[in-house]
Amino acid sequence: MPAVSTRRGRLGAPRPGKAVHRPAARLGRARPGWMALSIGAAVGVLGGMIGLGGAEFRLPLLIGVFGFVALQAVILNKAISLLVVVTAIPARLPAVSYAEVSSQWHVIVTLLCGSLAGAWLGATWATRMRSATLSKVLALLLVAVAAAIAGTHTGSLQYLSLSTPVQTTVGVAAGVVIGAVAALMGVAGGELLIPTIVLLYAVDIKIAGSLSLAVSLPTMIVAVTRYSRDKSFVVLRAYRGFLLSMAAGSGIGTVAGGLLVGVVPAGILILTLVLLLLASAFQVWTTS
């Protein structure tokens, strides 16, 4: 795992109190575009089969397989997720019309009121943490996402009957948390947004998926904007080809995964994905 950089030299000690990251070192045989494309596609298939983009599974691979330090992996994951979401929005229009989404504009606005602030805060925290600390946080969040996926797909989501003021307050608060988590992990946040929308607003899960994309896109743009102020953001330029290859693979895989829904029994699929997330969390924790 590459060490942090310093202003006094490549191997000198970092300035006290500052968490400083440097661009990832050469990745050797792990760098070829075909490998990024194929792994991105495999991750996309897994995510697509349960209606996600797969960023939760991509993050530990960026750290453990491709050798990026935590912050660089988060920034790359965020950029790839943003590209995947941009392509996913028009792809969903045949299934969920614009009129169905726009009729729920209040859901989008309420969640955005919290998620935009949360995204800025989450990205700020990530850039200020030491790499080892960020890795520990990411490992814990992977466990939390595994629990969220298990809860969402193995149980039935029941609408919470709340008064309008309470519903709005809870929606904004949930948006802050989701925006922060998504920014810290470099994900779109659909695994948290969709169950939140269903629970709070009694929206059909198919429409909830499109609403989550409408919330995710501006939230991710805010997070990327905040990350662009950190010097680790140069990883996007340094590994532009890698980024585009993995994004292309992820997009193709997500579409393929959507077409394969029902091929693998849901119970087996969810159990496998949860175990993969827990194993990934252990790997990220131990490699920090």
Local structure of 9: helix, strand or coil: coil
- The backbone torsions φ and ψ at residue 264, rounded to the nearest 5 degrees and listed phi first, read -100, 130
Higher model confidence: residue 27 or residue 130?
Answer: 130
Q: CA-based angle 173:178:179, to the nearest 5?
A: 95
Mean pLDDT of 192-217: 87
Mean pLDDT highest for which of 80-89, 152-161, 237-246, 256-265?
237-246
**Residue 100: CB partners within 8 Å, gap ≥ 6?**
207, 210
- Over residues 14-72, the pLDDT tens digits come to 344 444 444 444 443 445 678 889 988 888 888 777 767 788 889 999 988 888 999 99
- The ranges assigned to domains in the chain are 29-286
Residue recorded with tokens 């310093």 = 6
Mean pLDDT of 211-221: 92
Residue recorded with tokens 């614009």 = 98
Mean pLDDT of 144-151: 83
Q: What is the pLDDT of residue 137?
A: 93
Q: What percent of the chain has pLDDT over 90?
A: 36
Q: Which two tokens stand for residue 277?
A: 């997330």
119 neighbors 219 (Cβ within 8 angstroms): yes
Q: What is the pLDDT of residue 218?
A: 95
Residue recorded with tokens 């659909």 = 190
Which whole-number Å values give the CA distances from 144 to 53, 140, 141, in the listed order?
A: 17, 6, 5
Higher model confidence: residue 100 or residue 225?
Answer: 225
Instruction: Taking the CA atoms of 84, 132, 27 and 13 in sequence, report the sign of the dihedral they define.
Output: positive
Q: What is the pLDDT of residue 106?
A: 93
Q: Residue 37 and residue 232: Cα distance in Å, rounded?
A: 23
- Over residues 150-161, the pLDDT tens digits come to 877 666 667 788
Ranges of beta strands (E only) in 8-101 are: none
Tell me the pTM. Answer: 0.80
Higher model confidence: residue 113 or residue 47?
Answer: 113
Mean pLDDT of the chain: 82
Higher model confidence: residue 253 or residue 28?
Answer: 253
Q: Which two tokens stand for residue 286?
A: 């131990």
Q: Residue 149 and residue 109: Cα distance in Å, rounded?
A: 25
- The backbone torsions φ and ψ at residue 183, rounded to the nearest 5 degrees and listed phi first, read -70, -40
Helical segments of 228-239, H only: 235-238
Q: CA-based angle 201:202:205, to the nearest 5?
A: 110
Q: Looking at beta carbons, which pairs linking 31-38 to residues 24 or more positions away fall under 8 Å? A: 31/66, 31/242, 33/241, 33/242, 33/245, 34/245, 36/66, 36/242, 36/245, 36/246, 36/249, 37/245, 37/246, 37/248, 37/249, 38/249
